[in-house]
Amino acid sequence: MSKIQMTTPLVEMDGDEMTRILWKMIKEELLLPFIDLKTEYYDLGLEHRNETNDQVTFDSAEATKKYGVAVKCATITPNAARMDEYNLKEMWKSPNGTIRAILDGTVFRAPITVKGIEPTVSKWKKPITIARHAYGDVYKGVEIKVPGAGKAELVFTGEDGTQIRETIHDFDGPGVIQGMHNIDKSIESFARSCFTYALDTKQDLWFATKDTISKKYDHTFKDIFQEIYDAEYAAKFEAAGIEYFYTLIDDAVARVMKSEGGFIWACKNYDGDVMSDMISSAFGSLAMMTSVLVSPKGYYEYEAAHGTVQRHYYKYLKGEETSTNSVATIFAWTGALRKRGEIDGNKELMEFADKLEKATLDTIESGTMTKDLALITTLENVNAVNSEGFIKAIAERLK
Ligand code: NAP
Ligand code: MG
């Protein structure tokens, strides 16, 4: 059998713990036998990040700008315990945060739906994709615990010294205040990433805020989306037969519950934090979610939505059997391969991505799955397999 050829490399970002083990199995069993795989390899495993003073993370993000498409394995974000465990020189920052800052992107998360894993909301027939704005608002808020009576004011001082001043509240006793901000440029990037991704995936785009109450703050989000849509995307949306629609956040929540799915829901930072957990748990599990970072310039980084599955890794190290779900990591690869194929006009590569996804879903639908899914499936006669057994079963089907 001749292997599928690639013309441009993918940026490959290896990672940590159990997902690093799955990464290797996926390449050996599901990719290398079928594709003459071209990648530019960056080892984002914590040991190598530490050796390179995290330079490797920056280099991998720059490479993504050069080639356009990356695939990333889950990585450890160090905390105090990891400092000791890996004898780190510094508490290196989250690689996802570093890469997102360099690519200026938005993360889109969508459930991978399969027969036998039914959403809690029975009306949902298609995936709901959440796009979360990842800058500012309450996440960069400044807060004061007001000790007692007094006046709280909001003051902006321009570079020329002119001031804008608003009274927040005249306190007659203790309370709390909070100042938060966002930046037009960041909201513009968010909007462009959302419009680009909607066109890419041919799905309607919903956006919602509370602009009736927040007449300047949230209204700015609404206006920026609308201006960019009208100027740059309206004609393209029409040609693609998709719709952009804005509504109030409470109306959006009600509509989402009554919808059939199949659209992108763009959310402000806090809304996205909360709603993505609701959507992922209502659809099944984090191990059945795709996640892609899309930059407003059209660079793509595909990953799994879950972490490095540390608990399973420690069992693996002790030689115990694990049953870790590799679906999200497999879909990170298929997402990246399909996008690479699309950009390069490589039809064979795109078809391979489709086939690998189908083989993965068919394997589950036939009853062979990892333990996490076996616990929640509505299928009968389930064959719960270990990490390797699942990947091998997919490989059999793919052949
Ligand atoms: P996690 O890796 O998401 O796993 C938490 C638990 O969820 C697991 O113990 C397991 O439950 C279940 N789970 C998650 N993914 C699974 C899969 N593929 N198959 C089966 N079960 C799965 O989170 P964590 O263990 O708390 O975090 C480990 C490391 O991941 C941390 O160092 C964190 O910094 C990092 N992290 C990285 C990313 C990223 O790179 N994108 C994202 C989040 C976290 P059971 O143990 O009950 O089986
Ligand atoms: Mg959350």
The DSSP result for 66-109, as a single string, is HHSEEEE-------HHHHHHTT-SS-PPPHHHHHHHHHT-EEEE
Residue nearest to atom 5 of ligand 1 (CA): 309
The closest of 48, 64, 52, 38 to 15, measured between CA atoms, is 48
Ligand nearest to the CA of 45: 1
165 C-alpha to ligand 1 centroid (Å) = 46
Q: Which atom of ligand 1 is nearest to the CA of 74?
A: 40
The pLDDT score that the predictor gives to residue 134 is 82
Percentage of the chain modeled with pLDDT above 70: 100
The pLDDT score that the predictor gives to residue 105 is 82
Which residues lie closer than 8 Å to 256 by C-beta, 6 or more apart? 128, 265
Ligand nearest to the CA of 288: 1
The pLDDT score that the predictor gives to residue 367 is 96
Condensed to tens digits (0 to 9), the pLDDT of residues 258-271 reads: 999 999 999 999 99
The closest of 269, 247, 248 to 190, measured between CA atoms, is 269
The pLDDT score that the predictor gives to residue 283 is 85
The pLDDT score that the predictor gives to residue 97 is 86
Residue nearest to atom 32 of ligand 1 (CA): 76
DSSP state of 349: H
Condensed to tens digits (0 to 9), the pLDDT of residues 114-159 reads: 999 989 898 999 999 999 998 889 888 899 999 999 999 999 999 9
Q: Do 292 and 302 meet the contact criterion of CB atoms below 8 Å apart?
A: yes
13 in contact with ligand 1, CB cutoff 6 A: no
290 in contact with ligand 1, CB cutoff 6 A: no
286 in contact with ligand 1, CB cutoff 6 A: yes
pTM (2 d.p.):
0.89
Ligand nearest to the CA of 278: 2
Residue 366 is encoded by which pair of tokens?
Answer: 């036939």
109 C-alpha to ligand 1 centroid (Å) = 16
The pLDDT score that the predictor gives to residue 49 is 98
56 in contact with ligand 1, CB cutoff 6 A: no
pLDDT below 70 — which residues of the chain?
A: 1
DSSP state of 31: I
Most ligand 1 atoms within 8 A of CB, residue of 308, 316, 326, 388 to mutate: 308
Query: How far is residue 341 from each of residues 37, 66, 69, 116, 353, measured CA to CA in Å?
Result: 12, 16, 10, 31, 9
Q: If 0-12 CB within 10 Å is exposed, 13-18 middle and 19+ buried, where does residue 127 land? A: buried
Residue nearest to atom 16 of ligand 1 (CA): 287
Most ligand 1 atoms within 8 A of CB, residue of 25, 286, 288, 306 to mutate: 306
Q: Do 54 and 21 meet the contact criterion of CB atoms below 8 Å apart?
A: no
Which residues lie closer than 8 Å to 207 by C-beta, 6 or more apart? 194, 221, 222, 225, 244, 245, 246, 265, 266
Residue nearest to atom 4 of ligand 1 (CA): 309
The pLDDT score that the predictor gives to residue 286 is 82
Please compute, for residue 197, the number of CA atoms within 13 A of its CA located in the half-sphere on the CB side.
31
14 in contact with ligand 1, CB cutoff 6 A: no
The pLDDT score that the predictor gives to residue 180 is 95
The pLDDT score that the predictor gives to residue 284 is 77
Ligand nearest to the CA of 276: 2
Residue 249 is encoded by which pair of tokens?
Answer: 């956040």
303 in contact with ligand 1, CB cutoff 6 A: yes
Pairing state between β 263-267 and 128-132: parallel
Residue nearest to atom 23 of ligand 1 (CA): 307
329 in contact with ligand 1, CB cutoff 6 A: no
The pLDDT score that the predictor gives to residue 135 is 85
* Residue labelled with tokens 């290196």: 92
